[in-house]
Amino acid sequence: MISRIRGKLVSVDSGKLELRCGFITYEVLIPGYLEKDLQNELDQVLELFVLEFLENTQSNQSIPRLIGFGSELEREFFEQLLRVPGMGIRTALKAMQIPPEKMAEIIASQNASMLAELPGLGKKSAERIISELKNQVERFLTEKPSAARVTLGNEELTAIEVLINLGLRKGEAEALVRKAKSKGISTSEELVQDALRERGRKTAEVRR
């Protein structure tokens, strides 16, 4: 069973993405809120937490599918939705156009009319979701799920290690390297140089 998948983002469109893992490119279904987050991450390496399921199981041509999420908590929220009677995988996926913590807030406040406005849901479905989950979403309110985060390759990790050896905190070093990477810089040497320039600029601004 596949629980995580890591690769380079090839495309994002219409509720799915393509992730190149070595010589294999996987198609992964994703909820709407995650699609928005990933629009600007093409060609970046990312890791998704996934669920596997078979589609068209009533026929002789069932199709294996993957659904991807940005964190274990997001995946867990989706699994909670699937426990609601009558809630199918495609319906639940279509409904998740907003982040899980926002959807959890609506459920906890028992706002059926607002929940019913989400794609694929109607009044009866919204009421059923609230009835089943209103006392089970507290965790999603207190632990905010994070969007799928672009992972760092060897060059970036090397640059971070160099910056740490130069006295920077790990969090600061990673943030500077990610910013440098977003500019299209790829080698560890150039990443370090850009990170130090950026840090120097910020320090100068503070001293003014």
75 pLDDT more than 50: yes
Count of other CB atoms within 10 angstroms of residue 22: 7
Domains 74-142 and 154-207 share a fold: no
Residue with tokens 């799915």: 16
Domain definitions of the chain by residue range: 4-69, 74-142, 154-207
What does the pLDDT read at residue 180?
A: 84
Q: Is 29 helix (H, G, I), strand (E, B) or coil?
A: strand
127-151 pLDDT per residue, tens: 999 999 998 888 888 665 555 555 6
- CATH class held by domain 74-142: mainly alpha
Nearest Cα to Cα of residue 28 among 6, 44, 45, 43: 6
- The tokens describing 52, both together, are 């596997």
Q: Does domain 154-207 have CATH number 1.10.8?
A: yes
- Asked if pLDDT for residue 156 goes beyond 90, the answer is no
| CATH 2.40.50.140 holds for 4-69 | yes
Say what the pLDDT of residue 202 is.
Answer: 63
**pTM exceeds cut of 0.95:** no
Question: Bigger pLDDT: 168 or 115?
Answer: 115
Strands (E), the chain: 4-13, 16-21, 24-29, 45-55, 63-69
pLDDT in tens, 24-44: 999 999 999 898 888 878 888
Q: What is the mean pLDDT of the chain?
A: 85
Please state which of the ranges 10-24, 64-78, 83-97, 182-196 shows the lowest mean pLDDT. 182-196
What average pLDDT score do residues 164-193 get? 84
Percentages of the chain per state (helix, strand, coil), in multiples of 5: 50, 20, 35
For residues 51-75, give the mean pLDDT: 84
